[in-house]
Amino acid sequence: MESTTPFVTIVNSGCVFVVIRQSFDGGRSEIVLSNSQFSGLMYMLNSIEKQFMADESQKRANEVMQIPLDYFPSSDEKMYTPTKVDFVTEKVDEKPPPAPKKVKKSTGSEFEPFIVVYAMLFCERYKPKLSEQCNGCLFGKLTPEEHNVCMMMKKRERINLVFDLVMVELTDELILQKLHEMKDDENVDQYINKNTLLASVNFIKRLKTRLDKYT
DSSP 3-state of 58: helix
Lowest mean pLDDT among 9-18, 53-62, 184-193: 9-18
Query: What single letter denotes the amino acid at residue 116?
Result: V
pLDDT over threshold 70, residue 67: no
What number of residues does the chain have? 215
Percent of the chain with pLDDT over 90: 26
93 exposure class (CB count in 10 Å sphere: 0-12, 13-18, 19+): exposed
pLDDT digits (tens, 9 = 90+) for 73-118: 555 555 555 555 444 444 545 566 666 655 445 556 788 989 999 9
Q: Distance between CA 102 and CA 190 in Å, rounded?
A: 25
pTM of the model: 0.47
Query: How many whole angstroms separate alpha carbon 32 and alpha carbon 20?
Result: 6
Q: Which helix (H) or strand (E) holds 30?
A: strand 27-34
Query: pLDDT tens digits for 118-175?
Result: 999 999 999 999 888 888 888 887 787 778 888 778 989 999 999 999 999 999 999 9
Q: Residue 72 phi/psi, 5° resolution?
A: -105, 140
